[in-house]
Structure 1
Amino acid sequence: MLRDVTQAWRVPRAVAAGVAGLGVIAGLTLRTADYPGMLPPGTPDPELALGLRLLCAAAVLITGTLAYLTFARGQDEPLAMTCLPGLVVTGVILRHLVVTLPGVARLQPAARVVPGPGAWVVLASGMAMTAAGLAAAFAVRRAG
């Protein structure tokens, strides 16, 4: 009985992780910072840096691979590891929201730098990837 329930929920967890990964990619194509005015010369660009965007994209690639392995093997163990790339994505965007943007706003308050829609999409997607991985981990623990 428990095995049937676990098997029934495996596919939605893997699909949720995959959709969350696509959400990260979509969020990375949107603006991650919104500022109506021009920033003075020498002010760092408040957008998420290219290196951090590539790190998030690599985490999505890992998540996609783990979701595929979950389908191919019929086991939750690979999907349980998606919590790690999800935590990386969440950590990157939280650092961007908490550290970078207030620092820029402090340098030039008139710029009114605020998080852009991409930052919120990436944050929600990273949290969803983490949740899917943790749900799979709990399913593995219950089954074992």
Structure 2
Amino acid sequence: MTRAWRVPRAVAAGVAGLGVIAGLTLRTAEYPGMLPPGTPDPELALGLRLVCAAAVLLAGTLAYLTFARRQEEPLAMVCLPGLVVTGVILRHLVVTLPHVARFQPTARIAPGAGAWVLLASGVAMTATGLAAAFAVRRTA
């Protein structure tokens, strides 16, 4: 029974990783007006995008190890990259966007589709890793 659940969890982690890649290619902030000079760019910074991409690489490696070793333990660690992606996007949503809107409220800065896809994918990776961790704990 454990083997039957391992494959869907690893596939879910892979799909969530693809969701992160898709989210990184989409806009993470929507602003219809021009921002005045000196206003910080509301899009997700390149460094944070690279952190999310590295988290996806780690999650993909752990999902592959789950298939190769036929054990849940590597997949349980997928929650860590998921937490990284979720944390990066929550920082972007909660800290960056309101501060930019404070500088230029008429710009009507709002989270873009990419931010929501990244947040959903990060939460999905976290949930997948936690589900695998609980499965490992039950069998131990």
TM-score (norm 1): 0.97
Matches of 2:36 and 2:54 in 1, distance apart?
33
* 1:1-144 map, 5 Å: 5-144=1-140
Query: Taking every aligned residue pair, what percent have the same amino acid on both sides?
Result: 86
User: How much does 1:6 deviate?
Assistant: 1.5
TM-score (norm 2): 0.99
Aligned residues: CA RMSD: 0.4
Structure 2 gaps, min length 5: none
User: How much does 1:7 deviate?
Assistant: 1.3
User: How much does 1:121 deviate?
Assistant: 0.1
Structure 1 gaps, min length 5: none
Structure 2 SS opposite 1:38: coil
Displacement over 6 Å in runs of 4+: none
Encode CA deviations 1:23-47: one digit per residue, 9 max, x unaligned: 0000000000000000000000000
